[in-house]
Amino acid sequence: MFFIIDKLFLILAFTVAIIIHEFAHGWTAEKLGDPTAREAGRVTFNPIAHIDPIGTIAAPAFLLIINFPILFGWAKPVPINSYNLNNPKKDMVYVSLAGPAANLFTATCAAGLLRLGGILPSEILSLSNNIVITNPFILFLIYLILINLFLGVFNLIPVHPLDGSRILEAFLPRETAWRYKKIAPYGIIIIFMLFYFTALADFILAIVGFIINLYSIH
């Protein structure tokens, strides 16, 4: 029974994380002059509007089945028309950073709630030692912290379709950026190869652990 509850809270935290992430992209773009996301119905907290069959359903389900240490994925990219932005090149960086920043903010709020409850966020790292958390609210906050931090860092990887690719493009010379965009169709394959053949997951988890420890500083 606990196994089912555990997975439900994990999925709920993941859903909250991707909704906040995508909402932040659309909201920021709108504030900077581009109403495309609003017109497409993407500036919303309705999860149905953000679901991507592969990134939101298939990939997370596969990771749950193989019992991967952390759940991650992505939603449908928010439609952005950079030509509508006040300053297209600079504002695209802000729009791209908005998603990871929103994840970091959410994780920070959840960590603050843990501390109000007398629990140092660094104590959640004890999950790796198979310590069972029975309080459902504490369990949800823990997953909210872990998943938001993981998604925030994960999305900064400079590979399409992740936010890091748009940020990198803004700093590349025009010709180089054009060549870089040509590998976009292979982005998903590249991401899975990076996870499979490199220590990328461990690197991201190390950053997540570092941030969690910062939350616990008195």
Q: How confident is the model over 10-57, as pLDDT tens digits?
A: 888 988 999 999 999 999 999 999 999 999 999 999 988 988 888 788
Domain boundaries, the chain: 2-215
In the chain, the amino acid numbered 27 is W
Query: What share of the chain has pLDDT > 70, as a percent?
Result: 92
C-alpha count within 13 angstroms, C-beta hemisphere, residue 98: 23
End-to-end CA distance of the chain: 37
Query: What is the distance between the alpha carbons of residues 104 and 127, in angstroms, rounded to a whole number?
Result: 20
pLDDT at 134: 65
H or E, element range at 50: none
Handedness of CA 189, 102, 78, 183 (dihedral sign): negative
Average pLDDT for residues 99-118, to the nearest whole number? 94
H or E, element range at 206: helix 200-215
The pTM is what? 0.88
pLDDT at 107: 97
Q: Are 170 and 90 in contact (CB under 8 A)?
A: yes
Query: What is the distance between the alpha carbons of residues 181 and 103, in angstroms, rounded to a whole number?
Result: 26
Query: What is the distance between the alpha carbons of residues 85 and 33, in angstroms, rounded to a whole number?
Result: 5
pLDDT at 131: 52
Q: How far is CA 177 from CA 2, 89, 180, 182, in A?
A: 49, 12, 5, 9
pLDDT tens per residue, range 109-128: 999 999 998 888 888 776 55
Identify whether 22 is a catalytic site residue: yes
Query: What is the distance between the alpha carbons of residues 83 and 88, in angstroms, rounded to a whole number?
Result: 6
pLDDT tens per residue, range 185-199: 999 899 889 988 888
Name the active-site residue from 22, 30, 39, 169: 22
HEC secondary structure over 13-66: HHHHHHHHHHHHHHHHHHHCCCCHHHHCCCCCCCHHHHCCHHHHHHHHHHHHHC
